[in-house]
Structure 1
Amino acid sequence: MWQQQPADARIEIEVDGHKVVAYCYGAGEDTVFLLNGGPGLPCDYLRDAHSFLADHGYRVVAFDQLGCGASDRPDDPALWSIARYVVEVETVRTALGLGRVHLLGHSWGGWLAIDYALAYPEALKTLILEDTAADLPHLMSEMHRLRAALGPETVEMLLAHEADGSYDHPEYQAAITLLNYRHVCRMAAWPAPLMASLNDWNMAPYMAMQGPNEFLYIGNLKDWNRTADLNRIACPALITVGRHDEITPACALRMKQNLPQAEVAVFPNSSHMPFYEEPAAYDARLLAFLGKHRGGVA
């Protein structure tokens, strides 16, 4: 189960002249290094859902990516690129002396984890890809399928507002809210750490890289596709996905088919947040995977 507790250490790291803040739990020899979703979302929701791993002998490290949370929030659109964030991840890993890590990326953090794994394969023990995809054009086709379930009149309304950029219109926002409760988190009351992250969301990097909401990709990542490169990631991989996930099981299957050492866990009663929606099943599956690949050269 998730728990809100203060980090054992809060560390400030300089990344190209900017401050990034990291949070550490536990002191195990194996490190689980968390890359949360967003972009522009503070790490509270992912950090608090995984700090329990410290009770099982793991060191858990998360950080507020540049532009959000306690890290600096520069107003420079040129900073909002996946290539720069890959360098940021490596800067944090080396500054903290983490050695080889179990890299866990959720949602946008999964795209970042894939690009990081391709750039720094020697830094990984395992790769854990949660509720994410390696092919965003394919994901967008899946998003359109989910949107279509709202009915043709609602789809027509969504497209009309997207054409003129009126994303804040109440009827557009009502449809997006319904999609969020179907495919982002199906809990009646969303957990406090998730709300803490959402209430402090910096939309500038999100809009620049993804788009105005979870179901429209128009930012600089809209054509991102690493499917053909996944066979270069040789470390063991775990892919997790909710049955009702906005980043659908079809996206998980496409990754599994192209990763040499991948296994998939589908959580039948979850959408995009299995660690909150089915915590007991999720925690057990993650611990089993980590346990199989524990130890080795740091």
Structure 2
Amino acid sequence: MWREMTPDDRIEVTVDGFRVVAYSFGSGSETVFCLNGGPGLPCDYLRESHSCLVDQGYRVVAFDQLGTGASERPEDATLWTISRYVEETETVRKALGLGRVHMLGHSWGGWLAIEYALSYHDNLRTLILEDTVADMPHLIVELERLRAALGSETVAMMQKHEAQGTFDHPEYAAAVTILNYRHVCRLPDWPAPVRRSLDDWNMGPYATMQGPNEFLYVGNLKDWNRVPDLPKITVPVLITHGEYDELTPACGLRMKQGLPNAELRIIANASHMPFYENPEVYYPILTEFLSRHRTGRCI
């Protein structure tokens, strides 16, 4: 189960002339390399929920992506592209000497992990896609379905504010808050690592790549779709989604159908953060998958 841990190492890596900070836990011979969501979030929430994998003998590495957390925060919007973040991820992997990794991407980190796998497939042992998608236009349709559950009048109100750009209006913000508690984290009190990440959110990368909130995609990733390329990813893949996930189980099924060596698990009584919402179910799924694909294990 998750617990907050002090990293064994804090490593600074130079990426494109900027400082990026990585965190390493444990000293296992195999590494779980975590790519957190956002974009624009510090890695705290994913780092703290997965550093406990050291108990299973893994090294766990996470990093604050450029523009977040302890890493440098340039204001050049041209930096906020998925292709640049792929190269940043590879730079961190090489700088830390991680070799082939179990890559774990959550939410936006899953989009990044898919893109990374298509560029650097040979660097992966497995790929773990958590609460993520491979087809943004499909996700946008799914989000409209989730919004519709608020009722036609509320949806009309949201569309009005989106057209006017008044995203900070109290009634619009209230609707987004309801959606967040239904589909992002269903706990009445969100865990401290989640709050830390959210309180330090850099909206520059987020607005550029995604949009103003979790339920409106208008950034440079709005047309991103890698489903046609998924058959190229042949390593073992674990896909997990919460039952009420904003990035819906239907998105997970779409990925599974395109991947030649994938399994899909839906975690009940959870939304976008099953590792906090239903850890008793989540962690056994993750650790069993990793155990099956450890080097030297006979299957």
The TM-score with structure 1 as length reference comes to: 0.99
In structure 1, distance between residues paired with 2:54 and 2:25: 6
Deviates more, 1:277-286 or 1:228-237: 277-286
Report what 1:62 is aligned to: 62
Q: How far, CA to CA, are the matches of 1:265 and 1:247 in structure 2?
A: 14
Please state how far the C-alpha of 1:2 moved relative to its aligned partner: 1.5
Gap runs ≥5 in structure 1: none
Q: How many positions carry a matched residue from both structures?
A: 297
1:86 alignment partner in structure 2: 86
State the match for 1:149 in structure 2: 149
Distance 2:170 2:9 in 1: 42
Show the counterpart of 1:201: 201
Q: Secondary structure at the match of 1:257?
A: helix
Alpha carbons 1:110, 1:130 under 8 Å: kept: yes
1:248 corresponds to which residue?
248
Give 2:179's aligned residue: 179
User: SS state of the match for residue 109, structure 1?
Assistant: helix
Counterparts of 1:253 and 1:114 in 2: how far apart (Å)?
15
Which residue number in structure 1 is paired with residue 278 of structure 2? 278
Verify the 8 A CA contact 1:29 1:295 in the aligned structure 2: no
Residue of structure 1 equivalent to 2:46: 46
Gaps of 5+ in 2: none
Amino acid at match of 1:291: S
Q: Is the 8 A contact 1:238 1:289 kept in 2?
A: yes
> Does residue 136 of structure 1 match 2:136?
yes
Share of identical aligned residues, percent? 67
- Stretches (4+) displaced over 6 A: none
Cross-structure match for 2:16: 16
Q: What's the CA shift string for 1:168-202, capped at 9, x where partnerless?
A: 00000000000000000000000000000000000
State how far apart, in whole Å, the 2-side matches of 1:92 and 1:59 are. 15
Amino acid at match of 1:59: R
How far apart are 1:218 and its partner, in Å?
A: 0.2
SS in 1 for 2:10: strand
Does 1:7 find its partner at 2:15?
Answer: no
Structure 2 CA distance for aligned equivalents of residues 75 and 183 of structure 1: 30
Output the aligned Cα RMSD: 0.8
State the Cα distance separating 1:280 from its structure 2 match.
1.6
Q: Which letter does structure 1 place at the counterpart of 2:146?
A: L
1:229 & 1:169 partners in 2: Cα distance? 40
Tell me the TM-score normalised to structure 2 length: 0.99
